[in-house]
C-alpha cells in the first residue's frame, strides 16, 4: 500500500492535492502533525486536517510527532482520522493512549525514530494495528533514506510472524521508486511517500509505480 504524505503538497492548493489523491490508486493519505516540541518543526493541526478530511475520500493515516499525544488523539479521530499513530519515545505509558484511540473507533499505530531500538515495540505488537518505522529522523520531508532500515524491518517482521500476528508495518521517510521494491521484499506493508509523489511530474503515475514495485 502507498500513503502519500500531504506534508510535501502545495499548501496553497490543498484541495487539488486531495482531488489528485482521490483520483489516484493511493490507499491512504498520510497526515504529518508536528508541534515544534517533539520535533523542531511545526506543520499543521486540526483546522487543516478537518478541511482535508472534507475533500479527501481516502482514509487519513495520522502521524503525530508531538509531546502529550494523550491530550489530542481523540480530537484527531473527530477531525477525520482513520488511524492515529504516536511516537513510543514521546510517552511514558502508551497503552492508555492506544485505548483512547481504539475506543474512538480508529486504528492504532506506534512509531519509533531511527535511534530507538525496535525491540521496544515488541511488547505492543499484539495491541496495535500497525507499527511505523521511521527511515529518517521525524521532522522534515525530503530527507535521505537511512539504509539500516532494512535490517530493522527484517527484525520487526520476524517478531510479528513469531507472535503469529498480522500487525502492519509502515515505513516513512526517503521512500522512492528505487528503494520501494526492496522495502516490500523485506516485509513492509505500507510505504509513506512525500516528495517522491508530490514533487513528481505525474504524481498519479508515481503512486501506481510505487505500488507495482
Footprint on this chain of Zn ion (rule: CB under 5 A):
32, 63, 172
What residues from 72 to 111 belong to the interface with ligand DX5 (CB under 6 A)? none
Q: Are 176 and 205 in contact (CB under 8 A)?
A: no
* Cell triple for 169: 508495518
Confirm or reject binding of residue 63 to ligand DX5 (CB under 6 A). Answer: yes
Buried (b) or exposed (e) across 138-175, using 16+ Cβ within 10 A? bbbbebebbeebbebbebbbebbeeeeeebbbbbbbbb
* Backbone angles phi and psi of 104, in degrees to 5: -85, -5
Q: How far is the CB of 160 from ligand DX5 (least distance, A)?
A: 22
- Segment interacting with ligand DX5 (CB under 6 A) among 76-84, 112-120, 163-171, 192-200: 192-200
Buried (b) or exposed (e) across 92-104, using 16+ Cβ within 10 A? eebeebbebbbee
Q: How far is the CB of 72 from Zn ion (least distance, A)?
A: 16
Is residue 13 flagged as an active site residue?
A: no
What residues from 37 to 56 belong to the interface with ligand DX5 (CB under 6 A)? none
Q: How far is the CB of 183 from ligand DX5 (least distance, A)?
A: 12
Is residue 172 flagged as an active site residue?
A: yes
Confirm or reject binding of residue 175 to ligand DX5 (CB under 6 A). Answer: yes
- Segment interacting with ligand DX5 (CB under 6 A) among 45-53, 113-121, 190-198, 204-212: 190-198
SS3 at position 88: helix
Confirm or reject binding of residue 209 to ligand DX5 (CB under 6 A). Answer: no
Q: How far apart are CA 18 and CA 58, in angstroms?
A: 9
The catalytic residues are 32, 172
Amino acid at each position: 500500500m502507498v500513503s502519500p504524505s500531504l506534508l510535501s503538497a502545495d499548501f496553497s492548493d490543498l484541495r487539488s492535492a486531495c482531488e489528485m489523491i482521490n483520483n489516484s490508486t493511493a490507499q491512504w493519505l498520510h497526515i504529518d502533525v508536528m508541534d515544534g516540541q517533539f520535533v523542531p518543526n511545526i506543520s499543521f493541526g486540526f483546522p487543516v486536517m478537518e478541511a482535508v478530511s472534507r475533500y479527501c475520500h481516502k482514509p487519513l493515516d495520522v502521524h503525530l510527532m508531538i509531546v502529550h499525544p494523550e491530550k489530542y488523539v481523540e480530537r484527531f479521530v473527530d477531525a477525520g482520522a482513520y488511524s492515529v499513530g504516536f511516537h513510543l519515545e514521546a510517552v511514558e505509558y502508551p497503552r492508555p493512549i492506544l485505548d483512547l484511540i481504539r475506543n474512538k473507533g480508529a486504528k492504532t499505530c506506534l512509531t519509533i525514530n531511527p535511534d530507538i531500538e525496535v525491540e521496544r515495540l515488541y511488547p505492543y505488537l499484539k495491541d496495535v494495528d500497525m507499527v511505523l518505522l521511521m527511515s529518517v529522523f521525524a521532522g522534515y520531508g525530503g530527507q535521505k533514506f537511512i539504509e539500516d532500515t532494512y535490517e530493522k524491518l527484517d527484525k520487526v517482521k520476524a517478531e510479528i510472524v513469531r507472535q503469529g500476528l498480522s500487525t502492519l508495518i509502515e515505513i516513512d521517510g526517503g521512500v522512492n521508486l528505487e528503494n520501494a521494491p526492496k522495502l516490500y521484499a523485506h516485509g513492509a506493508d505500507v510505504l509513506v511517500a512525500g516528495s517522491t509523489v508530490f514533487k513528481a511530474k505525474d504524481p498519479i503515475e508515481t503512486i501506481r509505480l510505487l505500488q507495482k514495485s
